[in-house]
Structure formats: C-alpha cells, structure tokens
Amino acid sequence: MLTYIIKRLLLMIPTGIGIITVFFVFSELVPGGPLDQVETMIMDEARSASEGGATFGGDEGGGGGGIAIDPAMRMQIKRKLGLNHNRFERYMRMLLWWSPDSLISSKEVEDGAFAKVAFRDRKLVVFRSDDTYHVYLNGVDTGQGLGELTFDKQEKQFVSAMDADVRFDPITGQQVGGTTALTRITVRVKTEVFDEISYAASGARVQVKEAREEVYLAQSLTGAIRNWDNWHGYFLLKFPNSITKNKKSYVLIAERLPVSMRLGIISFFLTYSACLVLGIAKAVKNGTRFDAATSVLVLIGYGIPGFVLAVFLISMFGPGSDALVHLIPLRGLHSPPEIYNALGPLAKLWDNIHHLIAPIICLTIGGFAGLTMLTKNSVLEQFDQLYAVAARARGLSQRRVLFKHILRNSLIPLVTGFPARFVMMFFTGSVLIEKIFSLDGIGLLGYTALVERDYPLMVSNLFVFTYIGLFCRLLSDIGYVIVDPRISFEEKR
C-alpha cells in the first residue's frame, strides 16, 4: 500500500501541471483579460473626458480618434499584472521558474525623468540620465522623520517631501549644500526583446517585437540563485498577487478557508452520518410505513435546491418584518463584534452555532437525500448476496449479519463519492449559500474572481482545490482497503 501511495503522490505533480497548462492556454486565447479590462476602462474614461472638452493625444491608441494610453502607464499596468514577460516565461513562472525581477524598464522612465518604484517591500526612486539609471532608497532623514523624495523638474533635483530645502543631486546622490547622501542601490541594465501587442492605424492589434532596457538589482549568480525572491511557481507555494484585491492570493484563501471549512466539514459529516443511519433503517424496514414516510421526506429534500431553501428560511424565520418567527440571523458567522466580544465562552459557542444552523441545513439537505437512497439500495442489494444468505443459515442474527458483513460491503459506493462531495461542500455547493447568508468563504471568493477576471486568484483557487480533490481521492482509495481488505492496489506477481 505504501508503494501505491507514493506513486499516487508523484502522479499529482503532472496532474497539477496539466490543469495549470489548460488554464494558461485558455487565459491566453480568451479575449477580455485583465489588461484588456484595464485598457478599456482607461479608454472609456478618456473618451468621456474628451467629450467634455479635454483632449488626449498619442499614436498608440486603439483607434480611439487621437485618444491613447500612455506607454509608460501601460507598461506599469503590465508589470503589476505580471504580464511584462514573454509568454513562455509567464507559463513557467506559474509552474516553477528561476528569474530575477526587474525594477523598471526604459518604457517606464524617459531620459532625464524620475520615477518611484515599489520593489519587494522597498520604496525606491529612479533617475535616468544618458541611459544610466541611478537608483536610491526613497527616504531621507531630515531630523523631523524619514521623508520621501519628490522631483523638481526645473532644477533636476530630488526634494524631501518634509523639507523643501533638503535637496539631492539625482546623479551623485549627494545633498546639495550639505553632507548627507542618499543610499544608492547598485543595479545592472540589460537589453531584452519581448513579444508585445501594438495598435495599427485602424485600431487592430498586431504582435510586434519590442526591445527595451530592463533594470535589475546587481547581484552575483550564486547570490541570485540563493535569493528566494527570485524563485517563482505554484509548486513552490508562491502565489501571485490578486489583481482586484491587491493581496497575495494565498492570504485571501487563508482568510476565507476557515469559513468554508466550518460549513464544509460539519455539513459533510452530518450528511454522511444521517444518510448511514436513515439509509440502513429504511433498508431494514423496507416496504413498511416508516420507509414510505421517510421516502416522501427524502424526495422532497432531493427536489429542493439548497439556495431555494435558504431564501425560504430567511423569509419565514429570518429577522425581516414578514417572518413568522425570528429564529435565523441574517448574515455572518457571529453577531456584530461589539456584541460578540462581550459574550462569555459558552455564549460565543452558541452564537456561532446559531449562525451556522441555517447554512448547514441548506448545504446538507440535497446531498443527504441522494446518499440516503444510495445507502438503502446498496444495503438491500447486499441482503440477497450468497455470503449474507450463508451467514443467516449458520444461525447468525439479523443484526450481526447486517453490521458485521453487509454494512462493510455497502459502504463501498459511499466511499466512491467521497472526494467529489467533499470538494463540492467547499466550493461549488456553497457559492450561493455563502452569497445568500453573506458568508465570506472560499466558494464566494472563487466566484468573485471568475466574474472579475482575476486570473491569479482564479488559478490559485484552482490549484488549491485540485490538490484537495486529489488528496481526497487518495483517501478514498485508502478507504476502499479499510472497508474491504480484499481490495488491494498492489501489483500481483
């Protein structure tokens, strides 16, 4: 069994690569990506301003009649979205890749111009002079605190934002008329060629080769290789920033995952526990009034979608004025902080349970109904098997035959659906429930990322749930062996 587990764990790697590859291909082919959306928004705002009397000029616009996106702004947007690399490198950076990131490019700062850069939690300023890039830490101690730098275009000098009399030469970094010096960052400049999209006069997009200078931190090869910030890829658990929320994707997932875990795990175990008890009872009392009555209830539960039940519960038992009884809170996992924080430990526990009852009922009802009928039919099928008939013929009681022999074989179909149902409880089954009850879970996060075309967050969600599903599938296979020791995944010789 250990050999099989190791093989399955190793096979998870190409599975993850395949899923990321499919996602990358579709994200590259489907129009309306993050860059397109940002460009469209900027162009719409520019057209609105132009109609109001303002004018925008340029020759790179998408056929907007003189309206254009500033090339420097466009490059900054691409850098923020992680699109400032060639297609192959973007793909490899999603898997596993070593490559230093550049601070800035020649497209983003013109000769004789100044730019501010945020790079790996450090604020920098860049001045370009005769294709030489002078980079400094963006901060100077004026005695009143550490002030950031601005730029005087007329005098061509850095100026402290806290004291306009404190000025620095942008080339040497020395204070003008003083002894203080800026902290210089040593960089290297490399000319590289990139595949870029430009605009023809008609507004059509055309692919061109663009050569530009990229500015990197100066570091030795061994130092660059040992620098963890230069390594990229989901297989190193290095998740990119969300485009719309400006946070690391793993931070957003970690914030929302506990909410979905409460809903998913509790509803999952309630579903399986209830379906086992009721399914076995229905099989034992097959054809009786109990079986008929519970079948009606099960079919009603099977036919009611969870989100419809959620709306019904809020309407009839929520806090609204039209509700019959006010039993269900409207939103959240607990009461407002000013109320919740004042409660004792037991009161907090009940408050959490009170807020979870309705969402868990809605998540449980549909899966519970289907699994109950599956359990009943599976147990009934085993009743007529030869091993069960032989056990009863040897004088074993009905209860002993059921729990010692039949039940173990009846569990195999339930174990089969374990992975898909577990993942569904976390994601697809909880999106509408989380939306209706205003629960910030992982399902709602993935849905929002899809609607907003937040590709880094989408693929991060996909990556996490792919491996949750694969591990659940492995647990399912292990469950087969536990339920029925006759099953073996080892090769027979």
Comparing C-alpha atoms, which of 418, 430, 417, 470 is closest to residue 261? 430
Which stretch of 55-64, 84-93, 126-135, 450-459 has the lowest confidence by average pLDDT?
55-64
With cut-offs at 50, 70 and 90, classify the pLDDT of residue 59. very low
Residue 94, burial from CB neighbour count under 10 angstroms (0-12, 13-18, 19+): buried
Give the mean pLDDT of 335-364.
Answer: 83
pLDDT of residue 41: 67
List residues bridging with 424 in a β-sheet. none
Is the pLDDT assigned to residue 204 strictly greater than 90?
no
Tell me, what amino acid is at 35? Answer: L
Distance from C-alpha of 28 to C-alpha of 180, rounded to nearest angstrom:
49
List, in order, residues 6 or more apart from 129 with CB less than 8 Å away: 111, 112, 170, 171
Q: What is the DSSP string of 287-313?
A: TSHHHHHHHHHHHHHHHS-HHHHHHHH
pLDDT digits (tens, 9 = 90+) for 246-302: 788 888 888 888 888 888 788 878 888 888 888 888 888 888 888 888 888 888 877
pLDDT of residue 85: 87
CATH code for residues 101-218? 2.102.10.10
Residue 76 near residue 108 (C-beta atoms within 8 A): yes
SS3 label, residue 239 = coil
Give the mean pLDDT of 401-427.
Answer: 70
CATH code for residues 249-483? 1.10.3720.10
Give the mean pLDDT of 57-72.
Answer: 54
Is the pLDDT assigned to residue 63 strictly greater than 70?
no
Give the mean pLDDT of 168-192.
Answer: 89
DSSP 102: P
Residue that is written with structure tokens 């931190």 in the block? 217
3-class SS shares of the chain: helix, strand, coil, % to 5: 55, 15, 30
List, in order, residues 6 or more apart from 166 with CB less than 8 Å away: 140, 142, 147, 159, 160, 175, 178, 180
Q: Provide the mean pLDDT of the chain.
A: 80
Give the mean pLDDT of 183-189.
Answer: 91
pLDDT of residue 215: 92
Which stretch of 123-132, 232-241, 329-338 has the lowest confidence by average pLDDT?
329-338
pLDDT of residue 56: 45
pLDDT of residue 49: 66
Distance from C-alpha of 324 to C-alpha of 301, rounded to nearest angstrom:
22
pLDDT of residue 348: 85
List residues bridging with 216 in a β-sheet. 188
With cut-offs at 50, 70 and 90, classify the pLDDT of residue 456. confident
pLDDT of residue 57: 47
Distance from C-alpha of 253 to C-alpha of 264, rounded to nearest angstrom:
15
List residues bridging with 119 in a β-sheet. 122
pLDDT digits (tens, 9 = 90+) for 363-395: 887 667 778 888 888 888 887 778 888 887 888
Give the mean pLDDT of 157-172.
Answer: 88
Most confident of 171-185, 295-309, 353-367: 171-185
pLDDT of residue 417: 67
Comparing C-alpha atoms, which of 473, 447, 446 is closest to residue 460? 446
List, in order, residues 6 or more apart from 88 with CB less than 8 Å away: none
Please tell me if the domain spanning 101-218 has the same topology as the one spanning 249-483.
no
Is the pLDDT assigned to residue 457 strictly greater than 70?
yes
Distance from C-alpha of 272 to C-alpha of 418, rounded to nearest angstrom:
9
Give the mean pLDDT of 407-426.
Answer: 69
With cut-offs at 50, 70 and 90, classify the pLDDT of residue 420. low
Strands 97-98 vs 231-232: parallel, antiparallel or unpaired: antiparallel
pLDDT of residue 61: 46
With cut-offs at 50, 70 and 90, classify the pLDDT of residue 134. very high
Residue 272 near residue 414 (C-beta atoms within 8 A): yes
Comparing C-alpha atoms, which of 380, 378, 372 is closest to residue 410? 378
Tell me, what amino acid is at 98? Answer: W
The residue that leads in pLDDT, 35 or 392, is 392
Domain residue spans of the chain: 101-218, 249-483
Q: What is the DSSP string of 350-384?
A: HHHHHHHHHHHHHHHHHHHHHHHHHHHHHHHHHHT
Most confident of 148-152, 341-345, 473-477: 148-152
